[in-house]
Amino acid sequence: MGKTTGFMEYQRKTSTDAEPLARLANFNEFHTWLPREEQQTQAARCMDCGVPFCQAGMMIGGAASGCPLNNLIPEWNELIYRGKWELALRRLLATNRFPEFTSRVCPALCEAACTCGDVTGSPVTVRENEHAIIETGYAKGWVKAAPPPSRTGKSVAVIGSGPAGLSVAEYLNKRGHAVTVYEREYRPGGLLMYGIPNMKLDKSVIERRVKIMQAEGIEFLTGMDVGKTVDAAELTAHYDAVVLCCGAKKPRDLAVPGRDAEGVCFAVDYLTSVTRSLLDSEFTDGKAISAAGKNVLVIGGGDTGNDCQGTALRQGCTDLLALEMMPEPPAERTASNPWPEWPRVRKVDYGQVECMARFGKDPRVYQTTVKEFLKDGEGRLCGAVVEYLRPERDPDTGRTNMVPTGETFTYDCQLALIAAGFVGCENYTADAFGVGLTPRGCTQAHDYHTSIDNVFTCGDMRRGQSLVVWALREGRDCAAQVDQYLMGYTNL
């Protein structure tokens, strides 16, 4: 423990965000991080409570509680407090090879399970401590290519370069296997690159990491659509093992009249078009789907809905309405959702903060869905009929469903973004390898091994849409299974 009385002496302090209206002017990250010395003080708030729920990563109350990577949080908090940044980096990298991603986009399951949070009401700033460690590591030149000292002679193809693919590639390469990553996009990163917007994760952060991985010997082949432009059978014959990490990007659609209106599109297609145009040409190519001058309807909440709100505001939308199907969550934990469970409470994310600053209102309306999209004479979206819903318990299953109330209103809009979740992976890659799917549309596997001899799978493709931190954990565990298969034992 760094400082025994730290949690009593110091208040929680986090990075400051740029003023909401000012940050709408661009797509840059908008946090000003604490100076390193201040972060040391924050690390002193860690109580080293003895039972670190923060790093447990276990299922409590049907949801994960604590860090799924089992990051050694109290250990590196103490090292930060003592100013031993290089040692802290080593302890962090022991469990998390990509802290620059998690420290920017992770919802911080660790902080929700922090004992100091339970005792004092304000958890240790674990995520920002993690950020300070890794960025100090880069700034000091401690994070650099370290190729494996020897090679095993075995080869692995990783299909998909999202966080799961990067994670599995990283571990297998460090073990000495020759790793080739196949990616259908022209930039690696998966949803880190083309889902999560630049203001949340600057894309240079991904490029910086991929360069190191390339220098360590991993080959990235981009523009390769396996199962379409690349033959799956050739890969299974050529490589000793193949790992499918293609994500779960099949979007849930809305089967309502007017769905074919011009101006109704899936959220990830919208977000991808914006980031691609930003990176390709600073928007001069005109290829981004634009919300400029439009009233925008976002259907669905979560990270995706919020990212659509932040993006539309930056593009200059004239109004924003966000439909949430479920009832508004409580402001505080209920008795049935105690610490250290993940708190199922109402959150205000950056998109809503910015909407309040821009339009003076939270864009969310709860218990609603679209009943119909309205088109003008030329087939373009000009409005949506929104219907209110109410919860109703199904006596047969005991589940609560949201059912229409019949009460509606019309919202004039010219762009509608469907962020209603995902229904599993795109079938064609799994089909190309002969890998079966579960009823939820995910790849079937036992311990990450599919029913095909040398084919493995992990990440969202296996577990369904989840979080970056879970994709990294799946990549780590899957790499150990692949290593075991290739070598007959594993030390991963």
Compare residues 245 and 370 and give the one whose CB is closer to ligand FAD: 245
Smallest distance from the beta carbon of 107 to ligand FAD, in angstroms?
Answer: 6
- Residue 176 tokens read as 């000495």
**For residue 287, how many C-alpha atoms fall within 13 Å in the half-sphere facing its CB?**
12
Compare residues 134 and 279 and give the one whose CB is closer to ligand SF4: 134
- The contact pattern for ligand FAD, residues 205-224, with x = CB under 6 A and - = no contact, is -------------------x
126 binds ligand SF4, rule: CB under 6 A: yes
Classify 452 as helix, strand or coil.
coil
* Gyration radius (Cα) of the chain, Å: 23
- 10 Å CB burial of residue 255 (0-12, 13-18, 19+) is exposed
Rounded alpha-carbon distances, angstroms, from residue 436 to 178, 190, 234, 440, 451: 27, 23, 19, 11, 8
Among 24, 56, 69, 72, binds ligand SF4 (CB under 6 A): 69
Compare residues 176 and 300 and give the one whose CB is closer to ligand FAD: 300
The entry of ligand SF4, ligand FAD, none near residue 179 (CB within 5 to 8 angstroms by kind) is none
The entry of ligand SF4, ligand FAD, none near residue 56 (CB within 5 to 8 angstroms by kind) is none
Binders of ligand FAD in range 103-122 (CB under 6 A): 105-106
110 binds ligand SF4, rule: CB under 6 A: yes
- Residue 1 tokens read as 């423990």
182 binds ligand FAD, rule: CB under 6 A: yes
**What is the C-alpha to C-alpha distance for residues 385 and 411, in angstroms, rounded to an integer?**
6
424 binds ligand FAD, rule: CB under 6 A: no
Among 91, 97, 127, 174, binds ligand SF4 (CB under 6 A): 127
Binders of ligand SF4 in range 221-240 (CB under 6 A): none
Smallest distance from the beta carbon of 268 to ligand FAD, in angstroms?
Answer: 5
Smallest distance from the beta carbon of 443 to ligand FAD, in angstroms?
Answer: 11
Answer whether 247's CB lies under 8 Å from 363's CB: no
What is the DSSP secondary-structure string of 310-331? Answer: HHHHHHT-SEEEEEESSPPPPS
**What is the C-alpha to C-alpha distance for residues 417 and 436, in angstroms, rounded to an integer?**
31
**What is the C-alpha to C-alpha distance for residues 179 and 169, in angstroms, rounded to an integer?**
6
71 binds ligand SF4, rule: CB under 6 A: yes
Sequence-separated (6 or more) residues with CB below 8 Å from residue 43: 2, 76, 77, 78, 80, 81, 124, 129
Unique residue bearing structure tokens 């003008």: 376
Residues that bind ligand FAD (CB under 6 A): 105-106, 159-165, 182-185, 190-192, 195-196, 224-227, 245-247, 249, 268, 271, 303-304, 307, 429, 459-461, 465-469, 471
